[in-house]
Amino acid sequence: MDEKLLTLKKWIDESDNIVFFGGAGVSTESGIPDFRSTDGLYSQKYKYPPETIVSHTFLTRRTEEFFEFYKEKMVAPALAARPNAAHLKLAEWEKAGKLKAVITQNIDGLHQAAGSKEVLELHGTIMKNYCDRCGKKFPVEYVTESAGVPKCECGGTVRPDVVLYEEGLDMGVMERAINYISNADVLIIGGTSLVVYPAAGLIRYYRGNKLVLLNLSETSQDSNADLVIHAKLGEVLSQL
Ligand code: APR
């Protein structure tokens, strides 16, 4: 085991207050493309840039096209995916009382599927859906089984409880995330390009000296980290 991995293993073994902050790179080893890698969702060719499609304006103005993209490119891959070694290891550390929370930008529900209990979903989840008129709640199956735009019997549109571009994050979730990060002994950041705010800005609340960055590519925060490993997250965590 190389020296960096030995250091990481030591920090993990000695801590009972680990917090994990992750992004789409946590789920690529489960077969869900991320957004900004070369084979990511945002590099694929569409009529409009994907960031335009997964926006509030697009949902309200081009609802049919929104749901066509959302069901095919965001829901289907997530429902077909299974937790990978990274999800499973994080759930194991929580069960052992070592990890306090997973804070994720992902909407695929894979951390919960792996057994993690304290999961803060900054950008929401595809599993929760609600009528934009009466607020009635619907499971993800209702969305996948509806042809075209999922409608509520009241006439409203059933939309995902996902934070789209132009929409705000849940402040309650943000406050809890800040609390976990500011009290964390070890903060592990994994599988995220750290380019989308306010999520990426949360890491400035970390006050410890064990900031670990596990990411395939370089990020703007590499120089601020105490330990950086550019490798596949699942492969790294499964060695610990
Ligand atoms: N192991 C480690 N890192 C990986 C792996 C892997 N197996 N696969 C990909 N990565 C890295 C990539 O190198 C990239 O830096 O994960 C990062 C994923 O970055 P993005 O695709 O930008 O995803 P993310 O950071 O989660 O995007 C944030 O952008 O569009 C919004 O709401 C969307 O939540 C998303 C947000």
pLDDT (tens digit, 9 = 90+) per residue, 26-53? Answer: 999 999 999 998 888 888 888 888 889 9
Name the nearest CA neighbour of 180 among 23, 21, 19, 22: 19
Grouping H, G, I as helix, E, B as strand and the rest as coil, residue 86 is helix
Alpha carbons 25 and 31: distance in angstroms, whole number:
10
What tokens appear for 211 in the block?
């900031």
Q: Which residue puts its alpha carbon closest to atom 10 of ligand 1?
A: 25
Give CATH 3.40.50.1220 domain extents, the chain: 1-32+83-123+163-240
Asked whether the beta carbons of 20 and 239 are under 8 A apart, the reply is: no
Give the end-to-end CA distance of the chain in Å, rounded to a whole number: 10
17 phi, psi to nearest 5 deg? -145, 65
Judge if the beta carbon of residue 29 lies within 6 A of ligand 1. yes
Topology classification of domain 33-80+131-161: SIR2/SIRT2 'Small Domain' (3.30.1600)
Q: What is the CATH number of domain 1-32+83-123+163-240?
A: 3.40.50.1220
Q: What is the pLDDT of residues 128-182, one digit of tens each?
A: 999 999 999 999 999 999 999 999 999 999 999 999 999 999 999 999 999 999 9
Give CATH 3.30.1600.10 domain extents, the chain: 33-80+131-161
Q: Measured in angstroms, how far is the CA atom of residue 215 from the centroid of ligand 1?
A: 8
Q: Furthest-apart CA pair in the chain: how many Å?
A: 61
Alpha carbons 84 and 30: distance in angstroms, whole number:
6
Q: Measured in angstroms, how far is the CA atom of residue 33 from the centroid of ligand 1?
A: 9
